[in-house]
Structure 1
Amino acid sequence: MTDETDASTASPHETDGEAETAPPEFGAEATDATGRVIVLDVVGLQPQHIGAERTPTLHSLFPAERVADLRPPFPAVTVPAQTTLATGVGPGEHGDVSSGEFDREREVAEFWERDRGDRNRIWETASEAGLTTGVLFFQHLIGTSADVAVTPSPIEDEDNNLLEMNCWTNPDEFYDDLRSEHAHFPLHNYWGPGANEEGSRWILAAAKEAVDRFDPDLLWVYVPHLDYVGQSDGPGSEAFRAELETVDDLLGDFLSFLAETDRWDETVVNLVSEYGFHDVERPLFPNRVLRDAGLLETDAAGDADIPNSEAFAMVDHQIAHVYADDGALETARELLGELDGVDTVIGDAEKAERGIDHPNAGEFILVADRDAWFQYYWWTDHANAPPYATDMDIHDKPGFDPCELFFGDDGLVSLDATTVSGSHGRADESAVGCYGLGGPAAAELAPELEETVDATAVTPTIEALLDIA
């Protein structure tokens, strides 16, 4: 599992129209043979991870000619990647430019809000076309029209303390049935210091129940397991290689179940990964730079006072959207462009080249060096950290916080950003995702996949397989 790309010369690839690849074209025999599509969204998986030794299940189902690099959108982070995969258009069009969103009217940065909003994904368009659809644990699911859907929606108090575990589902009673059979969804194994394979195991158990009860024509299942070790230990670690075996075992159990279902012979399995990881060594703190320059203000509790600030960086792994008042824009850009570890500063002229020319994007966007990533901290003395910094508080933190994967000394969550060993977001060619086509009905598919499939081609491919006009 080596990577020969020189970190000193690697740069984020551009995602303009010329870089995109067209989806495969299938003949009538292929579409006639395909009655069901299963999408396994195994985040962090790359083509080089599929082999007889560590991932024998994936190796047997997805032959080399049916596996390709998947070029993620920029930025290669969860929500932009997921929305691109499931809509067929990039962030510049759909507007999900980060896993967080900065509300310019309210001047608030919020992460992981779960409502569907105006998003229309492949399962919703397939449902409108008369197919039965399902989707499990994708972001922004609350309110979806999919026939079967599951997403965490814990009941919390006003301080975001967990009162009771719950999931939002279609149909409404589906979570009650899942809980009766499989107990509550293990939220603390899905994210946080206790994250492990139990979250993915529960999701795949729910997927079996969805197939048994609803037999969807399209089922999209998010399998997060590799995401944890990819961040905590990095993709070059022995820990990551070991967890490839774990995720292969989990998928093997689910695929064995599918093979016993009545419609297995008409099934095409789409293997998708949203991005690959970089090994990282350096956390960067753009908000400290803005704080030291007097551009970022804080309140009495130590929280960022964004409405009274002239500039603020909403960070997400290896990218940071910087929102700045007109009078502070050039100063902020100059200061942050000089921050050691910043590879690229993307302004208005470059946004279109990266496919992120959308009003939701920052006034400019920072891209970290390949071995670096951005943390949201604006303080240097931990005594000045806001109360939520050491808590599992994914919605209120104004930046993605991978330190939540580590136990802290003075709270649940660590404040030691140097513990993080893996990150993503730059969209380098060395950190592509994975796309594969397998299953019995895949034998009718032609031609072979291109060496690289663009993320925007996944939805058109599924539409072609299911003959959705």
Structure 2
Amino acid sequence: MIPESPDGAGRVIVLDVVGLQPQHIDADRTPTLESQFPSESVTDLRPPFPAVTVPAQTTLATGRGPAEHGDVSSGEYERERETAAFWERDRNGRDRIWETASDEAGLTTGVLNFQHLIGSSADIALTPSPIEDEDNNMLEMDCWTNPEGFYDDLRDELDHFPLHNYWGPGANEEGSRWILSAASEAIERFDPDLLWVYVPHLDYVGQSDGPGSDAFEEELAVVDDLLADFLADLSATDRWDETLLTLVSEYGFHDVDRPVFPNRALRDAGLLETDEDGDVDIPGSDAFAMVDHQIAHVYADAGSVDDARDALAGLEGVDAVLEESGKAEYGIDHPNAGELVLVADRDTWFQYYWWEDRAAAPPYATDMDIHKKPGFDPCELFFGDEGLVSLDAAQVSGSHGRVDESALGAFGLGGPAAPALEGDEPVDATDVTPTIADLLGLEDELSMDFEGASLRQDD
């Protein structure tokens, strides 16, 4: 039996369109989105701080903020091993709405292309997991899926997942097209009650060209066309009349015009060391900055925090250096956070480089190596002159991470089973999961300790 919510939503499809903002939805540029989410059905979505991928995704899918769930960056710093790594793929104990609704309420749930999915108990799950050698070179494209063998079926139907169009210098709409086609296949085969679909397309142009660019405007129409094909398939299914579409966007973008290099400042202050290959020697360093767009976690030895603060406080382009009280104010006071957390000015962003001379860069700097680099690198969106990836950080024109009124995401309710969205105040990211649970009639059945409150308006 499918639980029926008070609003009659027997099925919820979440469209996670990164970088989309309410002002992007209109009849001229995005007619498909406007037809399902007219202006009265859409409002701003306030992301958690920091407004970067993993903290935003975990907050949206749990109803908890980073101070509670501990995902404070898209990278993870392990204090015991003194290592930093980005984009690890394991579930690692995370319980999100698709796991709890499947495990505790017996709903059929699914999620496509979220982070940290390997090991998920969602009935339908897919995340890229290429087979790589010890140097992170891809040997064969693969995806981890529930059920086992689902990727083999998708590969036969859609060809391999286009990983090189999903991230890197060749990133384009093909990654989103494949994901939406896979979502249609999942709906046809498994008829899920809840399906969360990650649509990354705008993320690329948002970083490379910035949200104020002509290129971003053009890609709005592209993503709208992709959604038109998916929604045409969805509206032809038997359960369309009981379907609720939920639109979310993890963050909006800032136009930026210059990078900031905190690790250079730490090295100049004698706090950061490198090895013979030019790589950062984290265990041998007194302080190190793990950067992620417009935020940076500075991990420092107990006796070096003051020196690190002094080295970074006067760095041009840094808006704030957060210590214990500042981290609490920003909602990021968790042991996983750095001893210091840097916030960039609105028009700047943090790059991980610690070298000045390109000859001193580590070997992976010009490679597509998202796991080995100890900081997020948007320069991977640009072809380089001396390798696959550019080292010209000045090319990056958009970033995110700060939580400003100008760069909020979007939240909308659409489809045949959508209730009215009353008021025009921004929706907090912690409110999304309790709202979905309530609309599916599950809030009282799930053990998730919701921090947010449901947005559903009772009749």
TM-score, scaled relative to structure 1: 0.93
Name the stretch that deviates more: 401-410 or 62-71.
62-71
Return the offset for 1:451. 2.2
Question: 2:82 corresponds to which letter in structure 1?
Answer: E
Q: What secondary structure is seen at the aligned counterpart in 1 of 2:178?
A: helix
Distance across 2 between alignment mates of 1:183 and 1:450: 43
- Which of 222, 225, 241 aligns to 2:217? It is 241
Which of residues 17, 41, 64 in structure 2 aligns to 1:42?
A: 17
Contact map agreement 2:43 2:412 (CA 8 A) in 1? yes
Q: Secondary structure at the match of 2:71?
A: coil
| One-letter amino acid of the structure 1 residue matched with residue 322 of structure 2 | I
TM-score by length of 2: 0.95
Q: Aligned equivalents of 1:374 and 1:260: distance in 2?
A: 46
Instruction: Using the TM superposition, give the Cα deviation of residue 414 of structure 1 relative to its aligned residue in structure 2, in angstroms.
Output: 0.2
Contact 1:67 1:449 in 2 (8 A): no
Point out 4+ residue stretches in structure 1 off by more than 2 angstroms. 28-32
Query: Which residue in the other structure is 2:166 paired with?
Result: 190
Matches of 1:446 and 1:130, distance apart in 2: 27
Provide, for residues 349-368 of structure 1, a one-character-per-residue CA deviation record: whole Å limited to 9, x for no partner.
11111111100000010000
- Matched position secondary structure for 1:236: coil
- Residue in structure 2 matched with residue 121 of structure 1 by the alignment: 96
Q: Equivalent of 1:404, from 367, 371, 380?
A: 380
Contact 1:345 1:366 (8 Å CA) reproduced = yes
Deviations 1:25-69 (A, max 9, x none): xxx996351100000000000000000100000011012121010
Structure 2 counterparts to residues 119-268 of structure 1, below 5 A? 119-128=94-103, 129-268=105-244
Q: In the alignment, is residue 31 of structure 1 matched against residue 6 of structure 2?
A: yes
Take 2:91 and 2:421, find their aligned partners in 1: how far apart are those partners? 35
Q: Does structure 2 retain, via aligned residues, the 8 Å contact 1:30–1:441? A: no
**Aligned match of 1:97:** 72
Identity of aligned residues (%): 77
Give the whole-Å Cα distance in 2 for the aligned partners of 1:177 and 1:103. 37
Counterpart of 2:56? 81
1:305 deviation in Å? 0.2
- The answer as to whether partners of 1:134 and 1:216 remain within 8 angstroms in 2 is yes
Letter in 2 for 1:148: I
Equivalences for residues 369-388 of structure 1 within 5 A: 369-388=345-364
Partner of 2:391: 415
CA RMSD, Structure 1 to Structure 2 (Å): 1.0
Equivalent residues in 2 for 1:47-62, closer than 5 Å: 47-62=22-37
Residues 434 and 32 of structure 1: CA distance in aligned 2, closer, same or farther (over 3 Å): closer
Contact (CA 8 Å) 1:234, 1:240: kept in 2 or not?
yes
Distance 1:66 1:334 in 2: 48
* 2:438 alignment partner in structure 1: 464
CA contact (8 A) 1:194 1:405 kept: yes
More relative contact order, 1 or 2 (CA 8 Å, 6+ apart): 1
| Structure 1 residue 447, shift from structure 2 partner | 5.1
SS at match of 1:45: coil
Q: Is the 8 A contact 1:101 1:109 kept in 2?
A: yes
Q: Report the counterpart of residue 457 of structure 2 in structure 1.
A: none
Distance 2:122 2:424 in 1: 30
Show CA shifts across 1:322-359 (max 9, x none).
00011111011011010000001111011111111100
Structure 1: gaps of 5 or more residues: 1-27
Q: Are 2:416 and 1:440 equivalent residues in the alignment? A: yes
* 1:98-131 deviation per Cα after TM superposition (whole angstroms, max 9, x unaligned): 0001000000000000100110001011102110
- The SS at the match of 2:386 is coil
